[in-house]
Structure 1
Amino acid sequence: MRATAKIFWIMGVFFLIVAIAYGLLTGFYEPLGIEPAGFPALIGLTGLAFMIAMVMSIAIRKNDLGASDNLDAEVHDDAGVQGSFSPYSWAPLWTAIGGALCFLGIAAGWWIFAFGVMFGVYGVIQWVLEFSSGQHAH
């Protein structure tokens, strides 16, 4: 986990430098000023990299060292349960249909986008609450 945190700190600094350089160059050489799509995207990328780095750094302090932090560790030292997955969930299908309709709606017509939002919201809510009711309720 320490290596992951370091990588994201380095990426955050790199993206910050690139964002500043990109903003300055487009501000000086573009006739309309700073480019309105790339500069905010680079700032957002910088923020995401720093956010992941901070979360990883906090997780390192709160948890024990994992097998990836031990230089003498074997592959089987990190084996075990990786998560809990529902074997026959329909929620990913509805969420994917919603996302596909949203992208299609942007290209073909905004009324399709509304149906995509409905399918997507239904799928996400079903996905989040699927272990709260029915056969898998605890």
Structure 2
Amino acid sequence: MKVEYKLFTILFSFSAIMGVIYGIFTHWHEPVGVVGLFLTGGLCLMIAFFLWVTGRKIDLRPDDNPDALISDVEGDFGFFSPHSWWPLFLGLSGAIVFLGLAVGWWMVIIGLPLLALSAIGWVFEYFRGDEAI
């Protein structure tokens, strides 16, 4: 967790410094960019704090040990479907929903049931019929 919290601390510092520079260059008359950069910095700071606190509570991972070997992190990371079509349908239905936000609400109404159906299909892909896990 050491690397992660340092990364988000650097991102916080960058966003805060860029927010101040942006404010100076725009004479603080354009608030959207400054607020966006400061909010980004705040979110990075919250994530960095969470990772720092969590990293203190758990043991060191092999990623945090400079003397660790690659074989120290090997193991089972879960099951990933090699031939699932559901992510494609989920992406297409999500595109319909987000396109509907720009084009018209009638597309959102069409896309939401498709989005829900494809999300349920992907989650429960291996939990039906004779092939159930």
TM-score (norm 2): 0.72
Name the aligned partner's letter for residue 96 of structure 2: L
Report percent identity of matched pairs: 35
Say which is worse superposed, 39-48 or 54-63, in terms of deviation: 39-48
Question: In the aligned structure 2, how far is the partner of 1:40 from the partner of 1:90?
Answer: 40
Structure 1 CA distance, aligned partners of 2:46 and 2:81? 29
Query: Which 5+ residue runs of structure 1 have no aligned equivalent?
Result: none
Aligned equivalent of 2:30: 34
Are residues 8 and 101 of structure 1, via their aligned partners in 2, closer, same or farther at CA, if it must alter by over 3 Å?
same
- Number of residues paired by the alignment? 130
Query: Does residue 130 of the first structure (1) align with residue 128 of the second (2)?
Result: no
The corresponding residue for 2:4 is 4
Distance 2:4 2:70 in 1: 17
- Structure 2 Cα separation of the partners of residues 73 and 15 of structure 1: 33
| Alignment RMSD (CA, Å) | 2.9
Q: What's the CA shift for 1:81?
A: 1.7
What TM-score do the two structures reach when normalised by structure 1?
0.70
CA shift for structure 1 position 106: 4.4
Looking at structure 2, the residues matched to 53 and 18 of structure 1 have their Cα atoms a distance apart, in angstroms, of 18
Work out whether 1:63 is the aligned partner of 2:58. Answer: yes
SS at match of 2:16: helix
Alignment partner for residue 81 of structure 1, among 60, 66, 76? 76
